[in-house]
Amino acid sequence: MAESVVLAYSGGLDTSVLVGWLQDKGYDVHCLYVELGQPCEDREAILQKALDIGAKSSELVDVREEMCRDIAFPTLQWQARYENIYLLGTSIARPLISKVCLQRAREVGAVAFVHGATGKGNDQCRFQLAAEALDPTVNVIAPWRMDEFRDKFPGRTEMLAYCAEKNIPVKASASKPYSSDENCLHISYEAGDLEDPTVDGETVIDFGMTVSAQEAPDKEEVVTVGFESGVPVSVNGEQLSAAEIVETLNTIGGRNGCGRIDIIENRFVGMKSRGVYEAPGMTLLYAAHQAMEQLTLDRDLTHLRDQLSPVVAEMVYYGHWYCAKMDALLAFIKEAQKPVSGEITMSLYKGNIRISSRTSPNSLYDEAIASMEKGGDYNQNDATGFLRIVGLPGRVQGTVRPREY
């Protein structure tokens, strides 16, 4: 009886080849299509294709809500951006793919979890670190890290020839000038023509979520996002699920040209790479959440969170989601976010996001105190003593070590 493996399956050229190659190696292949909200013409056809190739089973599991609710929104609460800009859309999805593949492996008695990530990228790290954290005994098969696989398939031409030989149906179209990865949080574009940093991505990419700023409407669109304890709960007054909020804001932000970035980033494996991303919904949520925090979080807590935010972004980017450190950080942010409730209204115009209104029952903003007019529980005379105490170390140092001026 053949041993079984579970393949994280997308139905594209690479994973279609893997179904055949794994069978050649003597495995029964159980394909799992993880629904992350990625655009796809015909999921039923993708699942049937795996069976036609010879897969033992072909299943779909929808984890859009879990991804948004349990990973993307806690990451949002941290305001975590890798290298201060990337919103981590691909990074967030990978640990969850590993989790559901391991669940499927347990159901079918599989001896290994197989993925199609290359040996040069970040995804291999995210898949494997998550899988091993969840099941320390797991066997991960990564064909792109195996000489025999790369020798057999050094490029797309050899893969297409293999598919023709095995009667594996593929769309034998010309190679795109880039590769892309999609889910409901974002679309990423890399490789191909984008490997030349002098190439303008706007001239190469057929963006799937956003229009360009030039194509966006010539008038502002207003959108209001509601939060409860730092968690987005509504759009324009309508209560929605986590995935519905992201997808609704993708549509609104996308048609207004919001959420595109083009960066050179530092991969976990050590090299620099160029990535172009569009994340309209999450870009709006990050802006709204930050504005909500400005109204409801005190200075010291906000600054502490800001110190730790790059740590969280790094952990998500590298693939360290399932670990004690992240558990503790998630517990911290859940407590810290309790007062972050209310509504933020944004005005969108040709890629720009302007905060136009803020309201919260937990607002720490006191107009009487903040006003330049007399009034409120603040006596300006008190500032004299405050500054004498704060300035004491500087005065002492200035006496001992006078500075030129």
In a domain, 82, yes or no: no
Distances, alpha carbon 235 to alpha carbons 8, 64, 220, in Å: 33, 18, 17
Q: Which residues are annotated as a binding site for L-citrulline?
A: 86, 91, 122, 126, 179, 188, 265, 277
Digitized pLDDT (tens) for each residue of the chain, 405 residues in all: 899 999 999 988 899 999 999 999 999 999 999 999 987 778 999 999 999 999 999 999 999 999 999 999 999 999 999 999 999 999 999 999 999 999 999 999 999 999 999 999 999 999 999 999 999 999 999 999 999 999 999 988 899 899 999 888 886 555 677 888 999 999 999 988 999 999 999 999 999 999 999 999 999 999 999 999 999 999 999 999 999 999 999 999 999 999 999 999 999 999 999 999 999 999 999 999 999 999 999 999 999 999 999 999 999 999 999 999 999 999 999 999 999 999 999 999 999 999 999 999 999 999 888 877 776 788 889 999 999 999 999 999 999 999 999
Q: What is the dihedral of CA 178, 181, 184, 185, to 10 degrees?
A: -90
Upper half-sphere CA count for residue 212 (Cβ side, 13 Å): 8
Residue 389 domain boundaries: 373-399
Q: How buried is residue 399: exposed, middle or buried, by Cβ count under 10 Å (0-12/13-18/19+)?
A: exposed
Shared domain check, 58 and 148: yes
Shared domain check, 8 and 101: yes
In a domain, 73, yes or no: no
247: domain CATH number? 3.90.1260.10
Q: Which residues are annotated as a binding site?
A: 8-16, 86, 91, 116, 118, 122-123, 126, 179, 188, 265, 277
Which pLDDT belongs to residue 337? 98
CA-CA-CA-CA torsion sign (155, 156, 161, 167): positive
Per the residue annotation, which of 123, 260, 309, 360 is the catalytic one? Answer: 123
Shared domain check, 383 and 289: no
How far is residue 256's CA from residue 239's CA, in Å, rounded to a whole number? 22
Clarify whether 14 is annotated catalytic: yes
In a domain, 365, yes or no: no
Say if CB 296 and CB 363 are below 8 A apart. Answer: yes
User: Cα–Cα–Cα angle for 71, 35, 244, nearest 5°?
Assistant: 60
Clarify whether 181 is annotated catalytic: no
Which pLDDT belongs to residue 172? 53
Distances, alpha carbon 233 to alpha carbons 57, 130, 169, 230, 237, in Å: 37, 28, 42, 9, 9
Strands, sheet with 186-190, edge to edge from the N-terminal-most edge strand: 179-183, 186-190, 272-278, 260-266
In a domain, 101, yes or no: yes
Say if CB 152 and CB 158 are below 8 A apart. Answer: yes
Shared domain check, 210 and 110: no
Which pLDDT belongs to residue 173? 56
Per the residue annotation, which of 4, 57, 179, 273 is the catalytic one? Answer: 179
Shared domain check, 202 and 272: yes
In a domain, 218, yes or no: yes
Shared domain check, 286 and 214: yes
Query: What is the domain count for the chain?
Result: 3
Strands 272-278 and 186-190: antiparallel
Per the residue annotation, which of 64, 81, 94, 104 is the catalytic one? Answer: 94
Shared domain check, 218 and 188: yes
The pTM score is 0.95
Q: Which residues are annotated as a binding site for ATP?
A: 8-16, 116
Q: Which residue has the tokens 């995935």?
A: 243
Clarify whether 305 is annotated catalytic: no
In a domain, 404, yes or no: no
Say if CB 193 and CB 204 are below 8 A apart. Answer: yes
CA-CA-CA-CA torsion sign (69, 277, 350, 309): positive
Which pLDDT belongs to residue 311? 98
Shared domain check, 160 and 185: no
Shared domain check, 156 and 93: yes
Say if CB 253 and CB 211 are below 8 A apart. Answer: no
In a domain, 253, yes or no: yes
Q: Which residues are annotated as a binding site for L-aspartate?
A: 118, 122-123
Shared domain check, 158 and 29: yes
Shared domain check, 271 and 157: no
Non-local CB neighbours of 2 within 8 Å, separated by 6+ positions: 26, 27, 28
Shared domain check, 156 and 42: yes
Clarify whether 347 is annotated catalytic: no
27: domain CATH number? 3.40.50.620
In a domain, 116, yes or no: yes
Say if CB 247 and CB 377 are below 8 A apart. Answer: no
Please choose, from the candidates 178, 192, 166, the residue with its C-alpha nearest in 3D space to the C-alpha of residue 16. 166
Question: What does the radius of gyration of the chain's CA atoms come to, in whole angstroms?
Answer: 25
